[in-house]
Chain A
Amino acid sequence: QVQLVQSGAEVKKPGASVKVSCKASGYTFTTYTMHWVRQAPGQRLEWMGWINTGNGNPKYSQNFQGRVTITRDTSASTAYMELSSLRSEDTALYYCAREWGGKYFDNWGQGTLVTVSS
């Protein structure tokens, strides 16, 4: 069965960077685009960007352009999301999500809590 397993919770200081991983199993990693979505406390889900796991090309939401970098390692079937210049408003649960049908998300990781605090 499809599984997306994310790395553990992180605590970071303002201005630092964080890198979250998402290891996929149960399907051919390079045949599905992987997205990153975050959920801040009390806020709606927010799309951050995707990576074409086949050719490695990323696409970012304008809201995060310049601060987010999404990469992948096909040999490890793992996608990564790095967010830089962290601020307190970046405290959130970060999810990886597999794209389905070009427009939806059919499988999600368990979420990684990133806390930004001085």
Chain B
Amino acid sequence: EIVLTQSPGTLSLSPGERATLSCRASQSVSNNYLAWYQQKPGLAPRLLIYAASSRATGIPDRFSGSGSGTDFTLTISRLEPEDFAVYYCQQYGSSPSFTFGPGTKVDVK
């Protein structure tokens, strides 16, 4: 089973700043089947990015994903107040398996 690790655990930034979140896989992610989700307190996760770099429907273009193989990045170009949340990466693999990273919390500096 592929294990995902995310860094940093917490990212303290101010509105308007750029956020760069990392997701690393223990093995290569098949066909870059990697997604990013945003979760706010008391709410379910929300799909942001799929296939490593494609934005889901309705997601603002300040969110972008990149990477391949074992290293992936979520970038938020300019943080809006509503972007402070926890972000998870998720991969799909054969068997099938769906695994998630431990999350990165983006909080207000």
Which residue numbers of A lie inside 8 Å of B, CB to CB? 35, 37, 44-47, 59, 61, 95, 97, 100-106, 108-111
Question: Can you list 18 A-B contacts (CB < 8 A)?
Answer: A44-B100, A44-B102, A45-B90, A45-B100, A46-B100, A47-B97, A59-B96, A95-B45, A97-B44, A100-B47, A100-B50, A101-B50, A102-B92, A105-B35, A106-B57, A108-B46, A109-B44, A110-B43
* Residue count of chain B within 8 Å CB distance of chain A: 23
The interface residues of chain B lying within 8 Å CB-to-CB of A100 are 47, 50
Cα-based distance from A102 to B90 in the complex (angstroms): 13
The interface residues of chain B lying within 8 Å CB-to-CB of A37 are 98
Centre residue among A59, A97, A100, A105 by max chain B CB count within 10 A = A105
Centre residue among B43, B45, B96, B98 by max chain A CB count within 10 A = B98
Which residue numbers of B lie inside 8 Å of A, CB to CB? 33, 35, 37, 43-47, 50-51, 56-57, 88, 90, 92, 96-103
**What is the minimal beta-carbon distance from A83 to any residue of chain B, in angstroms?**
17
Q: Which of A44, A46, A47, A108 contacts B44 (CB 8 A)?
A: A108
The interface residues of chain A lying within 8 Å CB-to-CB of B56 are 106
